[in-house]
Amino acid sequence: MGTRNCTSPASVGSVTVRARFENSSHSLFTDGLRGVLAAHPDAAWHDAGFVARRTGRGSGVALVSGGGSGHEPMHIGFVGAGMLDAACPGLIFTSPNAVQVAAATRAVDTGAGVLHIVKNYTGDVMNFAVARRLAAAPDGDEPAIATDVVLVDDDVATEDTSGPGRRGTAATIVVEKICGAAADEGRALADVAAVGRRVAATARSMSVSFGACIVPGSGAPSFDLPDGQMAFGVGIHGERARDERPAERAEDIVTDLLTRILPGTGLASGGRALVVVNNLGAVTDLETGVLFAEAVKQLSERGIEVERSLVGRFVTALDMAGASLTVVPLDDELVRLWDAPTSAPGWPHAATAPSHTDPLEHARPDDSAADGEPNAWISAWVDRVQQSVSELTELDRKAGDGDFGTNMEAALGHYPLPLRGSDGAVLEAISTAYLVRAGGTSGAVFGTFFTELGRALEADGAGFARGVRAGLDAVQELGGARVGDKTVVDAISPAADVLDGGGSLDEAAAAASEGVAATAGSAASRGRASYLGDTVKGVPDPGALVMSWLFEAAATHR
């Protein structure tokens, strides 16, 4: 692996890595976002956790998107007239939480409804879905808001997996541009959504990389790739590819990419196409130029005209040394919408406007647990998680994208111990911390489980079994996971069965631990690990492990 694709300030094994321009890995998100917004001519930070246009939209359908940071200029760089009205940034490679998205939705609605443009990642899908449920209900004096959604799932590298399906990648910005122009024409919500879905249905992408990125705070590349090798089909969150092979010439790479991409587009001789060559972060303009030239040449040989193009850095994966290729069929309507003007600074034009600095203060709901008597069993569990962040990060690096440990730290790392208060009160605080501080799939899943467990224990101190079952049911309804999918359900479900049958907490803890052991022998079918097939066998699921610790703490200290 070359040095250009690594960003740790030291060495990882035999790999020499470079330092980042940062104050600390923990502040990179806020410090970097502050600077991005300072250079943005028409964006303002809202303390509910989103960025919206300063000028606002006077009427018509508004557009909201968002996702983990580390992909800049997507999504914040595409906030502006002709594109997005608001963007919700999550932590690095972590989806925004539902509270952020709901707040942004209410803030930009003009009465004509709000369209959510969502990449097909479990955390994004879950949190935007929860936000739409929140927006659909009146909030005090604020009325219910009509919403719709376009799900972008363009990555052909994951279309043959048994998990959530194709990931959403660079076609997202194409949908944002087309829908932004349609909204500016004054179309109704259903019409704007329809044109976005039409684009998403036939847009296809795939990515190739010669080296991994390093998630801030993780201390190691998201996957290992020897010099001279390429990863064919990587993800924009640093997910490794199932196909690793010797590096090829650009001509051969484009041939392989188009072979995978074109069938889903339906393009044939006589077709018209938009081609996007996207820099994942650390390749040069010359390299993306080579890829684009090859794409134009090979499509022309197939009788397909490249009528519009976009080449540059639009959807990055921090500093991954790779690129993605996207092909979208065009017709007269889509060309007109594509050519419509936009003031979004991330679009390829020069922005001229004064800079505005924002403090990026973020108002959070109260998630403290400092009142009352010490709560021994929940404190013991939180302490164990706090002490195990590195272990959890390493497990997720092998089975996912390496961010699980940092997500646990984001949710629980701020708590001084011991936690204080009743079971119900402390679990309510923890559920809020997961939903707001962690976000992503982990935030939605853990936050949902602890909400239900806390409600049961608040109503009846003996309601542990009932709360575990309610939490399990809610988690399964949210994400559809079942036993054997290599998720938290593999630990919770056997423990719930034991408790429902009158078993003890010791027996429930043992059942949960056995469930964790079983995950080591299975391939995942949910979450990002599902994209890796059998390569994750032998690695226990870190989420299930954390849940098993909860039952052990309850058995020992409750």
d(CA 454, CA 425): 7
Distance of alpha carbon 359 from the chain centroid: 25
Yes or no: say if 535 and 486 are a contact pair by the CB < 8 Å rule. Answer: no
Distance of alpha carbon 97 from the chain centroid: 10
Residues paired with residue 278 on neighbouring β-strands, in sequence order: 312, 324
Active site residue 237: yes
* Sheet (strand 147-152) strand order: 44-46, 50-52, 86-92, 62-69, 114-119, 147-152
Distances 481 to 138, 286, 435, 474, 486 between C-alpha atoms, Å: 31, 44, 19, 11, 9
Catalytic residue from among 71, 116, 237, 356: 237
Q: What are the φ/ψ torsions at residue 137 (nearest 5 degrees)? A: -105, 140
Question: CB within 8 A of 117, min separation 6: which ones?
Answer: 63, 64, 65, 84, 149, 150, 152, 172, 175, 176, 179, 196
Q: Which structure tokens are listed for 340? A: 């419509």
d(CA 343, CA 52): 13
Q: Which residues of 317-332 are buried (b: 16+ CB within 10 A; e: fewer)?
A: bbbbbbbbbbbbbbee
* Sheet (strand 229-232) strand order: 243-246, 229-232, 204-209, 322-329, 272-279, 305-312
Measure the N-to-C terminal CA separation of the chain; round to a whole number of Å. 49
d(CA 490, CA 508): 12
Burial of 532 (0-12, 13-18, 19+ CB in 10 A): buried
* Helix 489-500 vs helix 505-519: crossing angle, to nearest 10: 150
Q: Select from 135, 548, 89 the least CA-distant residue to 360.
A: 89
Counting every residue written for the chain, the total comes to: 558
Q: Select from 32, 50, 6, 81 the least CA-distant residue to 341.
A: 81
Yes or no: say if 203 and 177 are a contact pair by the CB < 8 Å rule. Answer: no
Yes or no: say if 101 and 149 are a contact pair by the CB < 8 Å rule. Answer: no
Q: Where are the beta strands (DSSP E) in 213-339?
A: 229-232, 243-246, 272-279, 305-312, 322-329
Distances 123 to 1, 156, 170, 307 between C-alpha atoms, Å: 30, 20, 18, 35
Yes or no: say if 121 and 70 are a contact pair by the CB < 8 Å rule. Answer: no
Helix (H) or strand (E) holding 150: strand 147-152
Catalytic residues: 237
